[in-house]
């Protein structure tokens, strides 16, 4: 449809709206919206859809004002559909709810005639209103309105068919409350056969879709409470078989869900190149309870014997139902397998034997090689372990894994064999090892050199600290010597004063000849003798003091910057340092 056609549809819809033919306007806006969407104009389509909903709503209001409730209900439901498409949930719910209420109004129009045929039409419309409320999740309101309708009109609902129509909501309520699937099945049957027929009689077939949606909403409510089945399936296909052999193909069907799977049916789809010898292409089981497993099996062989190999494909498809008769599908596969003109297990076992022989031949070659033996021996041991694993895989028919493992082992054997026979490589390795040893020794010697030099430097710093300490003691000792010298000089001066006094006393002392008194003469002689002895002693003391002052032990020389012992120690350390550097640098 061209853009011109869409533009013309929009103009016609606008004209209908201006004429207040809102239903026709809504339908034309809706058609224009679908055409715009097909052209890729999604924004324009949404705008037209919005206008369609608004026009349907206006039409419903006009019909309602004119007491044409069925037409009002139809337009409200169409407005709900339009808003639902736009994702405007709130507007859609309001429209559907008003449409349901309009149907109850339309029902009253039919009941007022008091005729059985009209009563059936009215009841169909009222029940449809309840179905619309169920559709939008207002189940409590739907069941309440249905019960109220049945109670208020009990005297008019005389015929069994009408009574059964009015009981559809109650049957659905009972099904939800008691999880009564029989009641739901009966209600669904009545809705599909009787309610839709009654709507057709009331010229209201437009509401059939809402009846279906109401039933589906109840189904979802039940499903939320229902234990449902879940089928998992897989194929078990032959491994390492030849064209001439017969083999089995199995399908494993497991119900991993919580509820029973009912009326489970499966069908095999087998490659045309296979011949079915036994087993059924189609199979079924009435009930597969939760946790149960069902195995299906075919016996087959290739239709013709061929050279080489060929791949065949197998598939299982099927279906099953839950208690609500909701249908599910199942599938196992497609799976494929290969038939050959030889047994691969035999070939692989032969390959393992040959490869094991190749590995065993490498051991003496490694021993005689100049290569580092231990790492290669470990590799060979690992290869033997891998070959043992390959044998185990062959035994359990994991042939692809075994084949890959054998291939990798052979590649590694080739690599090791090449390394052992490469003389140039061995020479390079020997040279590299020698260079590495030298570099290692050089690095270690360098570390030793640095360690020794660092130790010498440390001891030199300790000697500096010791020199400072000894110089402090030297200062203290020098100060002591000066104090002694000063003390001796003072003592010497005092002794000289005493000597002078002794000499003066001696000179003044009377001599023995100066008196006639013998006693006094003796006394004078004794005094002078004592004075002479004292004088001699003082002179001797002066001599001793001068000797002490002149002693080299009290001599204070110039203060050195470094004590001789420290200097000698440093000279020794420097000699060691130079010797270490010279020898290690030479090495």
Q: What is the pLDDT of residues 89-148, one digit of tens each?
A: 999 999 999 999 999 999 988 888 778 788 899 999 999 999 999 999 999 999 999 999
Question: Mean per-residue pLDDT for 50-66?
Answer: 93
**Which of 143-147, 386-390, 392-396, 576-580 comes out lowest in average pLDDT?**
576-580
Q: What is the CATH number of the domain that holds 279?
A: 2.60.40.10
Q: What is the C-alpha to C-alpha distance for residues 72 and 122, in angstroms, rounded to an integer?
A: 15
Maximum mean pLDDT: which of 105-114, 242-251, 490-499, 544-553: 242-251
Last residue of a domain, one of 190, 208, 225: 225
Same domain flag for 100 and 11? yes
**Which of 303-312, 371-380, 384-393 comes out lowest in average pLDDT?**
371-380
pLDDT bucket at 1, cuts 50 / 70 / 90: low
pLDDT bucket at 518, cuts 50 / 70 / 90: confident
In a domain, 537, yes or no: yes
Three-state DSSP class for residue 264:
strand
Same domain flag for 70 and 110? yes
Same domain flag for 469 and 555? yes
Strand 241-242 and strand 282-288: the pairing is unpaired
What pLDDT is attached to residue 496? 81
Q: What is the C-alpha to C-alpha distance for residues 77 and 97, in angstroms, rounded to an integer?
A: 9
Same domain flag for 214 and 238? no
In a domain, 506, yes or no: yes
The two structure tokens encoding residue 76: 């409200």
In a domain, 388, yes or no: yes
Which residues constitute the domain of residue 461?
443-582
Three-state DSSP class for residue 400:
helix
Question: Following CA atoms 413, 414, 417, 422 in sequence, which dihedral angle do they give, to the nearest 10 degrees?
Answer: -150
What pLDDT is attached to residue 372? 73
Strand 241-242 and strand 261-270: the pairing is unpaired
Last residue of a domain, one of 225, 240, 256: 225
Same domain flag for 57 and 197? yes
What pLDDT is attached to residue 12? 83
In a domain, 126, yes or no: yes
Same domain flag for 49 and 171? yes
pTM (two decimals): 0.51
What pLDDT is attached to residue 520? 77
In a domain, 59, yes or no: yes
Same domain flag for 210 and 172? yes
Q: What is the C-alpha to C-alpha distance for residues 59 and 20, in angstroms, rounded to an integer?
A: 8
Same domain flag for 407 and 463? no
Last residue of a domain, one of 195, 225, 255: 225
In eight-state DSSP terms, residue 259 is S
pLDDT bucket at 257, cuts 50 / 70 / 90: very high
In eight-state DSSP terms, residue 513 is G
> Above 90 in pLDDT, residue 213?
yes
Question: Mean per-residue pLDDT for 207-229?
Answer: 90
In eight-state DSSP terms, residue 114 is -
Considering the chain, what percentage of its residues have pLDDT values greater than 90?
A: 43
pLDDT bucket at 7, cuts 50 / 70 / 90: confident
* Residue-averaged pLDDT of the chain: 86
Q: Are 293 and 253 in contact (CB under 8 A)?
A: yes
In a domain, 433, yes or no: no
Q: What is the C-alpha to C-alpha distance for residues 259 and 229, in angstroms, rounded to an integer?
A: 5
Say how many domains are in the chain. 4
In eight-state DSSP terms, residue 243 is T
Same domain flag for 239 and 214? no
Q: Are 315 and 332 in contact (CB under 8 A)?
A: yes
The pLDDT tens digits of the residues spanning 527-575 come to 778 777 877 887 887 787 777 777 776 676 777 777 777 777 778 778 7
In a domain, 438, yes or no: no
Q: How many C-beta atoms lie closer than 10 Å to residue 24's C-beta?
A: 17
Same domain flag for 292 and 401? no
Same domain flag for 314 and 203? no
In a domain, 323, yes or no: yes
The pLDDT tens digits of the residues spanning 413-472 come to 888 888 777 656 455 555 665 666 677 767 777 777 788 778 778 877 887 787 778 778
Same domain flag for 238 and 371? no
Question: Mean per-residue pLDDT for 51-63?
Answer: 94
The pLDDT tens digits of the residues spanning 161-209 come to 888 889 999 999 998 888 888 888 899 999 999 999 999 999 999 999 9
């Amino acid at each position: 449809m061209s853009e011109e056609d869409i533009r013309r549809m929009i103009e016609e819809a606008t004209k209908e709206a201006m004429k207040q033919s809102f239903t026709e306007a809504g339908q034309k806006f809706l058609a224009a919206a679908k055409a715009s969407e097909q052209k890729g104009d999604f924004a324009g389509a949404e705008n037209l859809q919005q206008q369609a909903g608004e026009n349907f709503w206006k039409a419903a209001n006009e019909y309602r004002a004119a007491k044409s409730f069925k037409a009002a209900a139809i337009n409200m439901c169409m407005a709900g559909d339009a808003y639902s498409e736009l994702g405007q949930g709130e507007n859609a719910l309001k429209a559907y709810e008003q449409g349901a209420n309009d149907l109850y109004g339309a029902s009253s129009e039919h009941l007022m005639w008091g005729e059985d045929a009209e009563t059936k039409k009215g009841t169909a419309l009222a029940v449809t209103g309840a179905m619309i409320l169920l559709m939008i999740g207002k189940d409590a309101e739907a069941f309440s309105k249905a019960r109220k309708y049945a109670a208020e009109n009990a005297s008019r609902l005389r015929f069994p068919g009408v009574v059964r129509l009015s009981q559809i909501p109650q049957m659905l309520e009972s099904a939800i409350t008691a999880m009564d699937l029989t009641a739901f099945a009966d209600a669904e049957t009545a809705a599909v056969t009787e309610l839709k027929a009654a709507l057709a009689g009331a010229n209201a077939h437009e509401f059939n879709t809402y009846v279906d949606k109401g039933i589906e909403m109840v189904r979802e409510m039940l499903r939320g409470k229902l234990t449902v089945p879940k089928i998992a399936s897989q194929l078990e296909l032959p491994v390492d078989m030849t064209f001439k052999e017969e083999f089995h193909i199995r399908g494993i069907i497991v119900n991993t869900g919580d509820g029973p799977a009912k009326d489970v049916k499966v069908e095999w789809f087998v490659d045309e190149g296979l011949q079915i010898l036994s087993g059924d292409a189609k199979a079924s089981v009435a009930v597969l309870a939760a946790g149960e497993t069902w195995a299906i099996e075919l016996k087959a062989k290739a239709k013709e014997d061929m050279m080489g190999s060929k791949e065949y494909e197998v598939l299982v498809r099927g279906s099953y139902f839950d208690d609500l008769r909701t249908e599910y599908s199942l599938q196992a596969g497609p799976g494929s397998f290969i038939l050959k003109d030889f047994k691969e297990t035999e070939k692989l076992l032969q390959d393992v034997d040959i490869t094991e022989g190749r590995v065993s031949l490498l051991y003496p070659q490694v021993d005689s090689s100049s290569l580092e033996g231990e790492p290669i021996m470990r590799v060979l041991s690992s290869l033997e372990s891998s070959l043992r694993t390959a044998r185990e895989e062959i035994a359990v028919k994991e042939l692809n894994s075994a084949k890959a493992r054998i291939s990798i082992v052979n590649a590694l054997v080739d690599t090791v064999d090449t390394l052992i026979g490469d003389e140039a490589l061995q020479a390079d390795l020997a040279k590299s090892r020698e260079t590495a040893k030298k570099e290692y020794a050089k690095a270690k010697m360098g570390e030793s050199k640095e360690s020794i030099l660092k130790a010498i430097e440390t001891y030199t710093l300790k000697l500096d600290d010791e020199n400072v300490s000894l110089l402090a003691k030297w200062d203290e000792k020098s100060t002591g010597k000066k104090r002694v010298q000063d003390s001796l000089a003072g003592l010497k001066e005092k002794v000289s004063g005493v000597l002078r006094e002794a000499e003066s006393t001696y000179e003044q002392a009377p001599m023995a000849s100066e008196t006639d008194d013998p006693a006094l003469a003796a006394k004078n002689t004794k005094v002078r003798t004592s004075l002479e002895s004292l004088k001699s002693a003082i002179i001797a003391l002066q001599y001793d003091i001068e000797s002490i002052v002149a002693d080299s032990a009290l001599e204070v020389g110039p203060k050195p910057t470094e004590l001789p012992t420290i200097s000698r120690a440093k000279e020794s350390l420097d000699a060691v340092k130079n010797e270490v550097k010279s020898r290690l640098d030479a090495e």
